[in-house]
């Protein structure tokens, strides 16, 4: 199989014309030669026109409105390759990174996703999220990557089939924490995720804004009620609301969580005890091995 037939690079953008053009210049220069799909999430700054003029070989998909991370579902439908590399409009893959990722996925058909090592273009430092993920690694074969539970949603290479099987991104989550539900659903289907520090994605690493923090808290609560046992869902809700209170966002997070609660509960399908344990090890490692968790994840409690 030729290199360009192995994977597709997917970039989401909205009103970041200048930095997207810089990103596309870097992506087209990669030695892998993977085709590129850009999903323009309702830009009003002339992004689509600029892409069409300067990068005619790039597939451009225009959304009439901003649909957040669910735009990845649209791109995946147009990607006719076994692998998809998701990235942002302010980042680029290091030359050779995609080829290394493809070789890892070729070598082990159980792996659904490879999380990249995200580095700041200004300082060269690794994104703290990557370091946190690698610290909470799972047991198992680490010969071709550190086993982890989680996704870097805009810095990962996914097996296209695994993305489809898990249902892609659930649109109401919009973005910011939307990857947790996808992670749970992939793990429930037996897919593995790994982290590789030699597969690098360069970007300008910034702090989360207040709206991002608020939406992520809502999404973590929603995901808990869709996939976790009731006691753990309640516990996660209390923890996230306490976090919102510390950030002086309790009212806004409560309102955002309550709106849409009906459709969240309609999608409730509790994952297996093994997947719950992986989720606990990733997000609450100090509590993961407690006797209470063993009781909660028993067959009688998985409701």
Count the Cβ atoms, other than its own, within 10 Å of residue 39. Answer: 22
What is the model's pLDDT at position 204?
82
Secondary structure of residue 142 in the 3-state scheme: coil
> Per-residue confidence at 300, pLDDT binned at 50, 70, 90?
very low
User: What token pair was written down for 303?
Assistant: 């409701």
> Residue 66 forms beta bridges with which residues?
none
CATH 3.90.550.10 domain position(s) in the chain: 3-203
**H-helix or E-strand spanning residue 108:** none
Homologous superfamily of domain range 3-203: Spore Coat Polysaccharide Biosynthesis Protein SpsA; Chain A (3.90.550.10)
User: Could you give the CA distance from residue 214 to residue 240 in angstroms, rounded to a whole number?
Assistant: 10
Contacts of 221 (CB under 8 A, 6+ apart): 236, 237, 240, 241, 253, 257
**Burial (CB count within 10 angstroms: exposed 0-12, middle 13-18, buried 19+), residue 231:** middle
Distance, in Å, from the CA atom of 11 to the CA atom of 2, rounded to the nearest integer, reads: 22
Task: State residue 209's pLDDT score.
Answer: 60
Percent of the chain with pLDDT over 90: 83
CA geometry: angle at 201 spanning 81 and 60, to 5°?
45
Cα 194 → chain centroid: 13
Which tens digit of pLDDT belongs to each residue from 123-162?
A: 999 998 898 888 888 988 888 999 999 999 999 999 999 9
pLDDT in tens, 258-293: 999 999 999 999 999 999 999 999 999 887 655 555
Which pLDDT tens digit goes with each residue over 44-54? 999 999 999 99
| Averaged pLDDT of the chain | 92
The mean pLDDT of 228-232, rounded to a whole number, is 97
Q: Quick one: pLDDT at residue 301?
A: 47
Residue 88, pLDDT > 70, answer yes
Note the pLDDT tens digit of each residue in 157-195.
999 999 999 999 999 999 999 999 999 999 999 999 999
Total-model pTM:
0.93
């Amino acid at each position: 199989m030729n290199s360009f037939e192995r994977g597709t690079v997917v970039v989401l953008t909205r009103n970041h014309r200048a930095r997207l053009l810089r990103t596309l210049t870097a992506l087209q220069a990669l030695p892998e030669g993977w085709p590129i799909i850009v999903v323009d999430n309702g830009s009003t700054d002339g992004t689509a026109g600029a892409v069409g003029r300067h990068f005619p070989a790039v597939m451009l998909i225009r959304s009439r409105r901003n649909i957040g991370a669910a735009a990845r579902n649209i791109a995946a439908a147009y990607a006719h390759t076994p692998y998809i590399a998701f990235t942002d409009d302010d980042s680029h893959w290091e030359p050779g990174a995609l080829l290394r990722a493809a070789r890892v996925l070729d070598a082990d058909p159980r792996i659904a996703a490879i999380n990249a090592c995200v580095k700041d273009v200004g300082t060269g430092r690794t994104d703290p999220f990557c370091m946190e993920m690698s610290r909470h690694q799972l047991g198992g074969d680490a010969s071709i990557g550190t086993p982890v539970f989680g996704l870097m949603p805009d810095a990962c290479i996914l097996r296209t089939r695994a993305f489809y099987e898990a249902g892609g991104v659930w649109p109401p989550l919009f973005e910011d924490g939307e990857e947790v539900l996808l992670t749970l659903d992939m793990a429930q289907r037996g897919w593995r995720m790994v982290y590789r520090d030699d597969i690098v994605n360069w970007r300008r690493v910034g702090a989360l804004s207040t709206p991002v923090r608020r939406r992520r808290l809502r999404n973590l609560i929603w995901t808990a009620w869709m996939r976790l046992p009731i006691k753990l869902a309640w516990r996660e809700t209390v923890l996230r609301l306490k976090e919102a209170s510390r950030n002086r966002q309790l009212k806004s997070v409560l309102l955002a969580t309550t709106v849409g609660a009906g459709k969240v509960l309609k999608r409730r399908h509790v994952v297996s005890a093994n997947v719950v344990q992986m989720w606990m090890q990733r997000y609450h490692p100090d509590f993961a091995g407690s006797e209470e968790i063993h009781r909660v994840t028993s067959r009688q409690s998985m409701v």
